[in-house]
């Protein structure tokens, strides 16, 4: 499966500023661990890294391509990357002289280094890294070790390796911005896919850690957590011919509105401008997350009930 953004299919489910610009103005930290602040009010009054140099992974289609286009529209020069070399070359050509393609696996350190070096040579130091590439992995307990490794490599370690490379430079400059595409599955869960659920939870956790550790040192961090987005991966990401695959796909399409990639990209730009940590193109996810934290047992019971409804629908559709 391509490492193009899977949160395009997420539930659940996307997936793989000029230097010295003003740092986002941040609100006070939550009064208790686990408190969720409304992203419409958080970290306002910032131009962020827009207009600088960005890298966008998983940019061969879907959310990644839409984010790259939106960044270019806002004056940002971008390096676009995807494992699909032909697709990302077409995206770069469509975006014009302010974009250049670097194909490759977003989890490969050599590819990450090549993206950053290319950005520096063509446009200047990287101000914004959009770690958007992602994969589904597998479905059910039948998910193989190889599928688990793929999900953890692309959905988590690709982000870790990029941060290792860029954060020291950003600390020296006193500015930088890291945007991780996770998923609503990282805050809630993905029915049907343990690999996607676990890896996207880890992606959210890593982004949280980055913000807690470096947010007072000039580095902005955002975490994009959409539900369903209308891309090819929405229809094929979990289609493995198994009952769990069908249920996972149904969970994506029935959980909420299916957005267009350009709508998600618009929310990303707004979130970067605010300096928001959570970027939620489906605002109802915040209420779902609050409900989960408020009564975990009730939330688990409700999710089991939802799975039963999806199973019944899948059974009826197969008759």
Catalogue the active-site residues. 196
Rounded CA separation 121/123 (Å):
6
Counting DSSP H helices and E strands in the chain, the numbers are: 11, 7
Give the CA angle between residues 21, 73, 52 to the nearest 5°: 25
Rounded CA separation 58/182 (Å):
12
Nearest to 239 by CA among 224, 226, 228, 249: 249
Rounded CA separation 183/134 (Å):
10
Rounded CA separation 68/89 (Å):
13
Rounded CA separation 101/85 (Å):
8
Under the phi-then-psi rule, with left for phi > 0, alpha for psi from -120 to 50, and beta for the rest, what region is 258?
Answer: beta
Contact 142, 95 (CB under 8 A): no
């Amino acid at each position: 499966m391509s490492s193009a953004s899977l949160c395009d299919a997420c539930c659940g489910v996307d997936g793989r500023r000029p230097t010295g610009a003003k740092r986002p103005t941040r609100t006070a930290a939550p009064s208790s661990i686990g408190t969720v602040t409304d992203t419409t009010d958080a970290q306002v009054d910032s131009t962020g890294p827009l207009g600088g140099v960005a890298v966008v992974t998983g940019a061969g289609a879907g959310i990644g391509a839409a984010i790259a286009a939106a960044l270019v529209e806002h004056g940002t020069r971008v390096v676009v990357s995807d494992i699909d070399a032909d697709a990302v070359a077409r995206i770069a050509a469509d975006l014009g002289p302010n974009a250049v393609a670097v194909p490759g696996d977003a989890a490969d350190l050599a590819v990450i280094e090549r993206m950053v070096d290319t950005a520096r040579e063509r446009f200047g130091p990287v101000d914004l890294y959009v770690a958007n590439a992602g994969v589904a992995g597998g479905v059910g307990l039948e998910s193989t070790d190889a599928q688990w490794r793929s999900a953890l490599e692309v959905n988590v370690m690709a982000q870790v390796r990029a941060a290792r490379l860029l954060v020291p430079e950003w600390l020296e400059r006193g500015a930088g911005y890291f945007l991780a595409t996770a998923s609503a599955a990282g805050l809630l869960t993905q029915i049907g896919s343990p690999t996607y659920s676990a890896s996207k939870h880890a992606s959210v956790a890593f982004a949280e850690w980055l913000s807690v550790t470096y947010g007072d040192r000039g580095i902005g961090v955002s975490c994009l957590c959409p539900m369903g987005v209308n891309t090819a991966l929405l229809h094929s990401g979990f289609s493995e011919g198994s009952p769990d695959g069908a249920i996972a796909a149904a969970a994506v399409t029935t959980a909420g509105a299916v957005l267009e990639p350009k709508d998600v990209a618009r929310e990303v730009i707004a979130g970067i401008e605010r300096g928001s940590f959570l970027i939620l193109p489906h605002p109802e996810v915040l209420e779902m997350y609050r409900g989960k934290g408020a009564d975990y047992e009730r939330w688990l019971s409700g999710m089991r009930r939802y799975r039963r409804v999806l199973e019944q629908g899948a059974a009826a559709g197969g008759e």
